[in-house]
Structure 1
């Protein structure tokens, strides 16, 4: 019925886009070289995004790439969870069945949430609250794509991101952030003119813009020359210049509008065509025969794509009439047959939206009802992975609460099973909206066991008791917490607790207070104790129940991190007991981990570790996902707390393998951080720095990233990169936040703050940080963090002895440190060694260096595998030997000690220790090299060894006692500018970043004897 022009409304000639294609081809080349690529392709509706992707896909296929396409599907106002990824993975599996099977091996059940063809996804999660379920699914998806793209180039194109559901957006963001290897190109398109200020895609685009690995391409409209070329392709002949001018003016260069205007002009609709966009989009639809128009209206309301069988059931036309109507609509380029499928969609979504908007309200409701009825009569009309969501949407837009409520609840269950918690929350909120309008007969027939996974107890059997509105609120609160919509979840818990004010249901009320505690912590509005304390009071004295066990476990876990002690231990014991009574396995295992940690903290080390090892073995044997991460984080942490670093590393290596395989990205981040902590004392600093960097770059949560930054600070400070240490310390503080202070974070932060301040010569700042830490106190079990803090503080005092600024307040500071040492529990051999070390440094800070005392410290550390610590105390013993006596035996022993310390310092790259060793040897005129072959004699003066001139020596003396450039100039009779130049040269030669650090180095290395200031002034 339409002539050849209509059949060619899409130009066979690809017009323009040379720059954009070059970007895409460059991405393809980079991916082929093993560098994964991520691109965002934006432009207004109709500008040609799909055509550009098709052209790029054709090129990629010619270069032997595997190309898969997926589009975000709009059903009414709803998007299907993960629809583009499911479609793309399904296509990938059709093209590479063996490769997909091999890449998914061992994780088929989890990946089936995205690709049901891989198997059956578990309906019930490991534990009632699978905190890492979504992250695990995302991680496994990323690794699946990386494995498939390891040996071939794969292009994944995802279209219409503006319709993407929240879960799809989150998965795309995760992929763009974490893809590290593989010959992979991911291209996502979106309609830029739809992204208004409150559009949910807008914050994602802003986030991705900050990633250097993501390239964003914006498609412009065509210029006049390009419009002329497009028209020539459509008309198969050169267009009339006047026609080009008119169409260019009316279309403003929009490629789709050019096509529509060209066809309208050919059909003679020029005079009747207005400039209204809707008229422009509807004019060709209205020119179709009535049956074809009717089919177009039905397809428009069915969603982005409608399967033929479903369309036939709704259209109620004879098969011949339906096929003829479809043939006409396809021939007019209104509809398209979906490739690799049996459905139909509009050639351009703008036309679908215009046709849908043109429907009357009653007509829209009637069509949605017919869709819903057809789908209920024959569910096989649509694929299983989107069936529930589509049925729920159809019934909802049909305004039938009785049918919509159970359909929406069923869809929420499916969304939960796919870890699409954002969509689950939206569906549950829709169910709450429908609740009052649904008949009582419908509500009474609903059961919690069918629609909710979280059963706040009401004293009834969830399999026989009717579903309550509060059950929906409970499920929605958990969904909101799991998908990051904490603000919405918090409001839901507030409403729920308000409803419970008139009921006597302490268990249900306690359950909601536990949820509020987690939400408050997640929103950084407090530490959550007020809410947990309320829940604890509500269950106090009640018989054992799952909620009671969970409250006790949560309270014990909170206390373990914030206030460990006998009460926390008792709560953990009761949590284990109650969980066993009611058969809550996940609560029991988590409570046992808490119990084991608290037992170790209390000094019952072997029994506590045995408890934690038993949980770890059970978790590994049964692959209990919900507890895998914590068991491989808490156990090695407890091992490290008693100095068993090597044993901790063995558990952590297993933990890395398990968390990676299971896709537990946040747990993997914690494991990396703990690995860095355990590698450092063993002297494996390069590995520790790498592990710390992995902790910083991985995962989504801030706390484990704070740990990674702390451990990197420790390595850099020990290696003398004070500026780098300060930078990472600031990052750790920012990641850690201030809303939830925990001793296990705050004490190491304080210790490294003291260390950085001392290295920069800011002794008073170091003392202030010590004061804050001592005022906060050291809870039981915190000796692993408290001893390094006290050591950092007392070492700073010992190194600063002789500094005028150090004398005022020194006695009080040393007294405070001594009092803290006296009260601090030790227990494990490593902390007994640290106690001796700190006590020896206290004597050193008082000016007393006793070889006997330091010999005991060295002997204690020689029993431990801590090479850096041993090198440091050997240095101190050598110093004590040289100070206390000049006999040859003492000198020989000091020489050997310094040789050993120097070897360790050189191996580790511990520059401050190496400098201290070298200068002490020079001051004592000791030769550390065993065979000094033709080596230049060491200078007698340690200052000369640093390469300083005589004038720079004088300037450094004054810098060391805190003189400004002007004061130095006055005392040495030089200009302030000359003094400034000398100071800059000194800083460069010493390799320090500031005057304070230079002064600290000078005093630590004893470069100037007492009275040097007076000597300089006199000179």
Structure 2
């Protein structure tokens, strides 16, 4: 067996003739190995990472590596190590060795082409190099013979065979040469190429005033085609270059506060709430009029929601100031928008009567999107006060599906789904699915609200047992683990845990815990980590995890009660240890946490959010004394539409019935265990199915 890298054989290489002759021999089989396809590359990187790699990352590595496995692996390592700049040194050395063997004409062509990024037109190369056709043709011929360039089918342009080769050559340029080439590109391309291309070359040439002007155009172009990541990069460049801009160009964008506000919106749409908040604060600091201050505060307030910060009053304080500024501006439309934003803040801050009152005032706005959002906010506030009308929810959801404003549509759909999932996840799921579809269709799937829509949909499908749908999204649209996605990742890990893929779940949860500062996402991750430790047979670690998360009382937002949920996980950890004959050191603290939740439920009853976790606390606590079948039967009744949770309760009910030893109870236990096992089998919950089989055998 022999191998050869055919892409390194220049046209007159002696091995070419030998390979051609060998190919005619009947005893020789030639097996060409092409570049890895994106799917193959995704599998390679997933094996190296231990979990699916986001599609955007796979595409970027595929583009840069050209499907070469070695290059792809090195790029993945460099990304994991957060290396910036050109290609990894190991890759650059391999690539530049081939360049060093070429002549001076080829070197000039390669150096100029390396800054073009992607396809480079022959005529453009002629203009940039300002050389005679014969010298250029000689250089291009040498590059194509060495298989560094590929001509396009019509022969009008060239493409580097490896994007990494262009990066390595560009990185190797001396600064003066790089600036001169960038300046030449900027001169030639001005007025014909996309603004982002000219902006990049102007910046590379050191012409900062021109780079500012072209970056403004590029940001506006990216915003117009719903490309928020590109828009954010360009707006942030505009902010960086602000001191170098002409007064006319600064005035053209309306002032620095307008740029910061546009950048904040782009960061929000890109799924980076922390950056969006920082940019909104920059806009506020630059604002000079009540109107400008109101707009900055209206952008900032939703980014300070207690769901993210854990602080109940911060969003409300900013939104109240925004309303004052809006009223000072004497702009009725801005006042209505400010009332809507403040009503939302009151809703999430638990001030439901204030939310309903203010939202009613904003609902008469002439802006259809503001009016819809205000009506939905008023409805949700009244639901919290006990006035629940499912027909109104259905009507609002239908209106939101046709609302052209994605931000408002996602607020309405996601929050209505959030209201219903604790008691009726089957009703909530299609609404959450509509929210995610809206985010996808409007091109804001990666925005903060788009991520919330996916999080709510994942939660609903976890509860309703549609785990395969969750896994389909994990495969077709895998998420990078970051501040905005950690909650979704934690919910996806619940499926991995139930299906006994503990190693992958642990890797992803460890990363989620490290990267997120979002309070709600931290709590999702803590809950999943407790479940992971229980699945791994480590109740002590599960108890410790819940106590750490409960050290600071979780915010009460009216949509999820994490204090009760985590206390139930802690009580389950005590019960699991008790079943193994172990007394946990954390037992007193866990029991105290459970007692606090029970006492709060007595003082401030909220059956919609607390009934299910309270039933779990009481039922698991009974396991310390042998188990109370009636508590488990009550828990089953509460878990309407949650097949996995019902099956787990049936398992513990069977355990409690078996402990009595009575013949009737033994028969009832077998029936409950059979029902639980059937659900576990249908869901693919292999770990729980094994536990059910073990209980059946032992009893």
| TM-score under structure 1 length normalisation | 0.47
Q: How far 1:773 sits from its partner (Å)? A: 1.9
2:137 aligned with 1:330, yes or no? no
Question: Residue in 2 aligned with 1:610?
Answer: 392
1: CA distance, partners of 2:445 / 2:387: 32
Question: Residue in 2 aligned with 1:751?
Answer: 527
Question: Residue in 2 aligned with 1:417?
Answer: 224
Question: Residue in 2 aligned with 1:220?
Answer: 96
Question: Residue in 1 aligned with 2:623?
Answer: 844
Contact 1:898 1:921 in 2 (8 A): yes
Question: Residue in 2 aligned with 1:900?
Answer: 675
2:293 is aligned, of 503, 509, 512, to: 509
3-state SS, counterpart of residue 680 of structure 1:
helix
Alignment size in residue pairs: 609
Do the aligned partners of residues 600 and 711 (structure 1) sit closer, same or farther apart at CA in structure 2, a change above 3 Å counting?
farther
Question: Residue in 2 aligned with 1:873?
Answer: 649
Do the aligned partners of residues 777 and 617 (structure 1) sit closer, same or farther apart at CA in structure 2, a change above 3 Å counting?
same
2: CA distance, partners of 1:357 / 1:710: 50
1:795 is aligned, of 572, 577, 588, to: 572
2:459 is aligned, of 677, 699, 707, to: 677
Q: How far 1:566 sits from its partner (Å)? A: 1.5
2:350 is aligned, of 543, 565, 568, to: 565
Q: How far 1:802 sits from its partner (Å)? A: 7.0
Do the aligned partners of residues 873 and 17 (structure 1) sit closer, same or farther apart at CA in structure 2, a change above 3 Å counting?
farther
Question: Residue in 2 aligned with 1:537?
Answer: 321
2:489 aligned with 1:709, yes or no? yes
2:519 aligned with 1:741, yes or no? yes
1:666 is aligned, of 415, 423, 446, to: 446
Alpha-carbon displacement from aligned partner over 1:653-708 (angstroms, at most 9, x marks no partner)? 4455554455444266655544442233334444444445666x23685433x233
Alpha-carbon displacement from aligned partner over 1:163-213 (angstroms, at most 9, x marks no partner)? xxxxxxxxx96842699xxxx9789xxxxxxxxxxxxx983656xx79xxx
3-state SS, counterpart of residue 578 of structure 2:
coil
Q: How far 1:840 sits from its partner (Å)? A: 3.4
Contact 2:309 2:519 in 1 (8 A): no
Contact 2:658 2:669 in 1 (8 A): yes
Question: Residue in 1 aligned with 2:665?
Answer: 890
Question: Residue in 1 aligned with 2:3?
Answer: none
3-state SS, counterpart of residue 253 of structure 1:
coil
Contact 1:510 1:538 in 2 (8 A): yes
Contact 2:280 2:296 in 1 (8 A): yes
1: CA distance, partners of 2:122 / 2:359: 52
The within-5 A match list for 1:491-640 is 505-513=289-297, 533-534=317-318, 536-537=320-321, 539-540=323-324, 543=327, 545=332, 548=335, 553-554=340-341, 564-566=349-351, 570-571=354-355, 574=358, 577-578=361-362, 581=365, 583=367, 585-589=368-372, 599-601=382-384, 603-606=386-389, 610-611=392-393, 613-621=394-402, 623-627=404-408, 629-630=410-411, 633-640=414-421
Contact 1:412 1:428 in 2 (8 A): no
Contact 2:340 2:370 in 1 (8 A): yes
Contact 2:648 2:676 in 1 (8 A): yes
1: CA distance, partners of 2:585 / 2:42: 60
Question: Residue in 1 aligned with 2:244?
Answer: 433
2: CA distance, partners of 1:409 / 1:722: 48
2:103 aligned with 1:255, yes or no? yes
2: CA distance, partners of 1:910 / 1:477: 42
3-state SS, counterpart of residue 641 of structure 1:
coil
Question: Residue in 2 aligned with 1:649?
Answer: 429
Q: How far 1:779 sits from its partner (Å)? A: 1.4
The within-5 A match list for 1:466-481 is 467=254, 470-471=257-258, 474-475=261-262
Q: How far 1:741 sits from its partner (Å)? A: 1.8
Contact 1:425 1:480 in 2 (8 A): no
Do the aligned partners of residues 528 and 386 (structure 1) sit closer, same or farther apart at CA in structure 2, a change above 3 Å counting?
farther
Q: How far 1:791 sits from its partner (Å)? A: 3.0
1:821 is aligned, of 594, 598, 601, to: 598
2: CA distance, partners of 1:840 / 1:550: 47
Contact 1:564 1:598 in 2 (8 A): no
The within-5 A match list for 1:965-1004 is none
1: CA distance, partners of 2:578 / 2:476: 39
2: CA distance, partners of 1:635 / 1:798: 35
Q: How far 1:487 sits from its partner (Å)? A: 10
Question: Residue in 1 aligned with 2:60?
Answer: 176
Do the aligned partners of residues 804 and 486 (structure 1) sit closer, same or farther apart at CA in structure 2, a change above 3 Å counting?
closer
**Runs of 5+ in structure 2 lacking a partner?**
1-9, 20-30, 44-53, 69-81, 113-119, 141-150, 159-168
Contact 1:692 1:711 in 2 (8 A): no
Bigger CA radius of gyration: 1
2:80 aligned with 1:203, yes or no? no
Q: How far 1:638 sits from its partner (Å)? A: 3.1
Q: How far 1:640 sits from its partner (Å)? A: 1.7
**Runs of 5+ in structure 1 lacking a partner?**
1-12, 39-138, 143-171, 188-200, 224-251, 262-277, 282-303, 312-325, 376-381, 453-466, 925-1019
Which structure has more helix as a fraction of its residues? 2
Contact 1:673 1:692 in 2 (8 A): no
2: CA distance, partners of 1:686 / 1:389: 43
